[in-house]
Structure formats: C-alpha cells, structure tokens
C-alpha cells in the first residue's frame, strides 16, 4: 500500500517528507517506495534485534539465563551499509568498498588527501592497533601491515621521529599511527618525508596548513585510546557511548565462508613488568630493571608483527624487525641483516619472539647478535634445551605463557 501511505520511521527524513508534500501533485511514487523500503528495514531490524537478544539467553528453572554472549550464538545477523567506494583494492584492477554497522559507525574522519584504497585502510588499522597498546605517547610506521619502526617518547613528535628513524629506508611511503593529537611539531616532522597516510585521535587547527603542504597525503582521525578501551569485557559496553561490539572481533573470508575470532590483546603486558610472578623468569639470571622495561615494550610491539616474528628493541624503540618468515631462525637473521645494513649495533638490546623457539638455533642467533634478554611465550617440547642455551650465553629469558601469532 506504499502508493497511498507514507510511513516515516526516521526523523532525518522529515525535511524530505515536507519537501515532497509541497510538490505539485504531492509526493512522488519513487519517494513513497523509498519510504516503504525504510519501513520494512526498520521493522525487520527491530525483530532481528529481539531475536539476537533471545539467542543470548536460555530458559532455565523458570527464568531467563544470559549466556556468554555473541561468540556462543548458533546464528547471528550482520547489518552493514556502505560508507564509500574505495580508490581500489589490493591492486588497481580490484574493486573495493568500506562498510560499517549503521548502529555503531566507524567514527573515521578524513581530513585530507587522495581517496583511500583497501591497502591504506588495512595499514591504518594495523597502525591504530599498535599505538593503542600504549598509554604513553607512541608512534608506529607501517608497511604492508608490518611495523618497520615503533617507539614511545616524551611527545608525539619525539615518538614519531624515533619510530621513523628506527628504519628510515622502509619508513619512506609508510603509514603513520599516533595515539596523541597531531600537533604542529609532529606535522612538520611527518611532512619532512614522503608518507602515504596518517591516523591520529585528532589534529590541531594550527597543524592543518602544515599537513596541507602534502596535499595527497591522507590524514584520518580516530580516537584510538577510547576505541581500544571499548569492549574490553566481552559483550559488555565499556561505558563509551559509541561502543561497537565488532571492535573486539575479527572477520576473514575463507572458501566463500567466514572465520570469526576474538581480537588479540596483549593484556598480559598492560601493567608494569614484573607483576608478581609474571612473566616467569626461566633462566638463572634475572632481567635488570632496564631489561624488564625493554622486554615489556618489545612484547607489545611483537604481537603486531606478522609471524614468524623476532624483533630487537631497546626500552623505547624498535631496533631491527624480522617479520613474516617461514622459520624463527630466518626471522632472527632478517632482523640482524637489517641492523647491519644501517650499521646499527644490537649489543645490549632485548629480543621478542611471538612464539616459542622449536630449537636452540634461533636463541643462539639472538645471543650472537648481542641481545642480553629475551621474551617469548614458551611451550616448546624443547624448552629445557632452549633455556639451557640461554643460561650458556648468560641471557635472561622470561616466558609469558601466551603466544601472539599474526597472519
């Protein structure tokens, strides 16, 4: 009956309705059909919301009992709407678009720059995830989802320069992530070289003209700290008005189906190390206070590097990254090779490995590079052999008991 009835379910439509009613002959049939579609969408969403809520409950002993939440549902519904078509996908011949849950918008603000591509957004997400690990000012430079440099500092500018200079060659054309507002000093540092895109919580008005000197550089805003805090208790809003239940989940398509997993969080490193008996010191030598600080920093970064990953850091910045290798010893060798390329000594550094060492060769290579302490999850059948090797080299090694693969 849409030909004869105008059903208005969204107050945002009121101006359109008034304009249509003022037309000679009244509202158009096309407009009435649009309103009919909106009405069915609205009532359908309401019914689906009730159904979804009931899926989270069971009836036990004459009362409703709430289950563990969305992850345990036997079925679910996803409503998304297109935000925009993108410049292209991973390659220029691939179409791509960005979508969001209309009830929980992404909250991205695009300040300037060329149209975003699929890979830009993937890298921006990787940058945001990494810097959101830190409460102190932090910066990361991302290339193909891997950090080529990451650092903390006294300010956003200090952290960015440290991160960029960790691997200045790879940082060229990278994606920058900041967890502090983009001020004039940071904007000047970023625009001094070629950067594809930047993501930050906000941008100072005075910094905008500086950023505009690189008119093609994309600048995207997202309040990283508050978004990262949202959903820390599964299925429960953190108190943020714009809480989005999908922030804590990750989707991937496989064989035309969907994989769903909980987002990885380095929660074991949120507090200062050591925290009680955690992490476990496996070697005879205990880490020094300086090594503890560096090990915690390295562990938070390593979780954001593609597996197999071994990285070398000091207490505030990465020194060498071995990312995405097919063996752990290869990851060490790549990191060492990159350090040698820029004539950087790894003596006195610490190393982090995203998963256990299956053999002692990887640990021997780390010791040969000059690291004095190592953090890894442990769990290998050869842990005793690896621990003995660390003791032979006089290294301190701590075990977190938690792996952080990233694929």
- CATH tag for 271-399 (out of 3.40.605.10, 3.40.50.620, 3.40.140.20, 3.90.226.10): 3.40.140.20
The secondary structure of residue 275, as a DSSP letter, is B
**403 burial via Cβ count (<10 Å: 0-12, 13-18, 19+):** middle
- DSSP 8-state assignment for residue 268: G
The pLDDT of residue 72 is 64
pLDDT computed for residue 230 by the predictor: 45
pLDDT at 54: 84
Within 10 angstroms of residue 129's Cβ, the number of other Cβ atoms is: 22
* pLDDT of amino acid 68: 65
In sequence order, the 6+-apart residues with CB closer than 8 A to the CB of 378 are 280, 282, 356, 399, 400, 401
Least Cα distance to 299 among 247, 333, 350 occurs for: 350
Q: Which among 204, 164, 150 has a CA at the least distance from the CA of 181?
A: 204
Q: Could you tell me which of 151, 150, 139, 282 has the C-alpha nearest to residue 200?
A: 139
Q: Both ends of the chain: CA-CA distance in Å?
A: 52
Kindly give, in sequence order, each residue whose CB lies less than 8 Å from that of residue 53, ignoring residues fewer than 6 positions away: none
CA distance 3 to 75: 36
> How far is the C-alpha of 52 from the C-alpha of 199, rounded, in Å?
34
pTM to 2 decimal places: 0.87
User: What dihedral do alpha carbons 172, 175, 178, 184 form, nearest 10°?
Assistant: 60
What does the pLDDT read at residue 79? 81
Q: Residue 315, exposed/middle/buried by CB under 10 A (0-12, 13-18, 19+)?
A: middle
- What is the H or E stretch that residue 64 is in? strand 63-66
Distance CA(197)–CA(123), nearest Å, equals: 9
State the DSSP H helix or E strand holding residue 253, giving kind and residue range, or none if neither.
Answer: strand 249-254
Which pLDDT belongs to residue 241?
A: 44
Topology of the domain covering 104-225: Cytidine Deaminase; domain 2 (3.40.140)
Helix, strand, coil distribution of the chain in percent, nearest 5: 35, 20, 40
Position of tokens 């695009």? 110
CA 209 to chain centre: 28
> What is the reported pLDDT for 234?
37
> Hey, where are the domains in the chain?
1-57, 104-225, 271-399
Q: What is the pLDDT along the chain (407 residues), one digit of tens a residue?
A: 888 889 999 999 999 999 999 999 999 999 999 999 999 988 988 888 888 788 888 888 888 888 766 656 677 777 888 999 999 999 999 999 999 988 788 889 999 999 999 999 999 999 999 999 999 999 999 999 999 999 999 999 999 999 999 999 999 999 999 999 999 999 999 999 999 999 999 999 999 999 999 999 999 999 755 555 444 433 333 344 445 667 788 889 999 998 989 899 999 999 999 999 999 999 999 999 999 999 999 999 999 999 999 999 999 999 999 999 999 999 999 999 999 999 999 999 999 999 999 999 999 999 999 999 999 999 999 999 999 999 999 999 999 999 999 99
The per-residue b/e assignment along 198-220, b for 16 or more CB within 10 angstroms, e otherwise, is bbbbebbeebeebbeebeebbbb
271-399 matches 104-225 in CATH topology: yes
Q: Which residues pair with 198 in a beta bridge?
A: 176, 219
Q: What are the start-end ranges of the H helices in 176-271?
A: 184-190, 208-212, 224-229
Query: 283 CB contacts (<8 Å, ≥6 apart)?
Result: 387, 390, 391, 395, 396, 397
């Amino acid at each position: 009956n849409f030909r004869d009835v105008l059903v208005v379910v969204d107050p945002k439509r009121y101006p359109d309705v008034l304009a249509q009613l003022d037309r000679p002959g009244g509202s158009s049939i096309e407009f009435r059909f649009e309103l009919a579609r909106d009405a069915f969408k609205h009532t359908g969403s309401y019914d689906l919301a009730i159904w979804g809520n009931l899926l989270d409950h069971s009836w036990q002993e004459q009362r409703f009992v709430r289950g563990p939440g969305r992850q345990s549902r036997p079925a679910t519904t996803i409503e998304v709407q297109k935000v925009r078509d993108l410049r292209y996908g991973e390659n220029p011949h691939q179409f791509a678009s960005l979508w969001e849950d209309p009830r929980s918008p992404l909250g991205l603000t695009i300040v300037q720059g060329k149209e975003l591509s699929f890979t830009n957004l993937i890298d921006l997400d990787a940058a945001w995830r990494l810097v959101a690990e830190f409460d102190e000012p932090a910066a990361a430079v991302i290339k193909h989802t891997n950090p080529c440099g990451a650092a903390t500092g006294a300010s956003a500018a200090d952290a960015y320069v440290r991160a960029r200079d960790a691997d200045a060659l790879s940082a060229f054309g990278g994606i920058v992530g900041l967890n502090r507002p983009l001020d004039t000093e940071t904007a000047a540092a970023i625009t001094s070289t070629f950067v594809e895109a930047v993501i930050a919580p906000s941008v100072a008005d005075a910094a905008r003209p500086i950023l505009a000197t690189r008119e093609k550089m994309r600048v995207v805003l997202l309040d990283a700290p508050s978004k990262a805090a949202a959903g820390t208790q599964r299925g429960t809003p953190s108190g943020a008005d714009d809480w989005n239940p999908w922030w804590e989940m990750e989707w991937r398509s496989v064989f035309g189906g969907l994989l769903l997993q909980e987002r990885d969080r380095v929660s074991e490193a949120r507090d200062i190390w050591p925290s009680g008996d955690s992490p476990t010191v496996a070697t005879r030598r205990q880490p020094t206070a300086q090594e503890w600080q560096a090990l915690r920093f390295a562990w938070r970064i390593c979780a954001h590097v593609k597996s197999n990953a071994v990285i070398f850091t000091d207490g505030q910045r990465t020194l060498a990254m071995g990312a995405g290798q097919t063996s752990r010893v290869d990851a060490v060798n790549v990191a060492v090779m990159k350090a040698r390329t820029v004539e950087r000594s790894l003596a006195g550094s610490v190393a982090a490995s995203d998963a256990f060492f299956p053999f002692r060769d990887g640990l021997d290579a780390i010791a040969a590079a000059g690291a004095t302490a190592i953090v890894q999850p442990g769990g290998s059948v050869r842990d005793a052999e690896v621990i003995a090797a660390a003791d032979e080299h006089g290294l301190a090694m701590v075990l977190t008991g938690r792996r952080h693969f990233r694929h």
